[in-house]
Amino acid sequence: MDGAYARRDAERTRSEERTPPESADGAVEPSPREVTAALDDADCRAMLAALEDPKTARELREECDVPSSTAYRKLDRLSDAGLVTERVTLDDGYQQVTRYVRAFDTVRLSADADGFSVDVEVREQATTDRPVGPHSPTDS
């Protein structure tokens, strides 16, 4: 019986580690570990460098020369770390298209007596841009 409780506690701990804390405004804050792990990954860095403009996973896969499964796994990692955001738009055939956008301008890693902290300076564009595409609303 003790083994079952230990497994459940271990599962809960792993689950809690994957759930980033929320800030006062309800936004999810990535952990320093998630951010540094993503930035330490060469494929993730290549994808971030390629994201000067919004791109689909396919465009990133081709530009960064990685398999499709790797591209999606790395995009998930970058998203969990708060370094990319997704934008869903409609193409000419009214099909949904997901484009990825670099969500930051600056990342700062700090160390103090309490440990490490990460400050991800969110891009104005990542929070205020409207979806782009042929069927997106336009300014009048």
* Cα distance between residue 72 and residue 58, in whole Å: 9
Task: Report the pLDDT value the prediction gives residue 27, as an integer from 0 to 100.
Answer: 56
Strand, coil or helix: 129? coil
Delimit the domains of the chain by residue range.
Answer: 27-128
Among 44-58, 84-98, 115-129, which stretch is predicted with the lowest mean pLDDT? 115-129
Query: How confident is the model over 110-122, as a mean pLDDT?
Result: 82
Q: What is the pLDDT of residues 49-87, one digit of tens each?
A: 999 999 999 999 999 999 999 999 999 999 999 999 999
Asked whether the predicted pLDDT for residue 101 surpasses 90, the reply is yes
Task: Report the pLDDT value the prediction gives residue 140, as an integer from 0 to 100.
Answer: 39
Among 2-16, 41-55, 101-115, 121-135, which stretch is predicted with the lowest mean pLDDT? 2-16
Residue 45's Cβ-side half-sphere holds a number of Cα atoms within 13 Å equal to: 7
H runs (alpha helix) in the chain: 2-18, 32-40, 42-50, 57-64, 68-80, 124-128
What's this model's pTM, rounded to 2 decimal places?
A: 0.66
CATH architecture of 27-128: Orthogonal Bundle (1.10)
Contact 66, 134 (CB under 8 A): no
Alpha-carbon separation of residue 23 from 29, 87, 96, 138 (angstroms): 6, 22, 31, 32
| Angle of the 57-64 helix axis to the 68-80 helix axis, nearest 10 | 110
Give the number of other Cβ atoms within 10 Å of residue 45's Cβ: 15
Q: What is the pLDDT of residues 17-54, one digit of tens each?
A: 344 445 555 556 778 899 999 999 999 999 999 999 99
Asked whether the predicted pLDDT for residue 138 surpasses 80, the reply is no
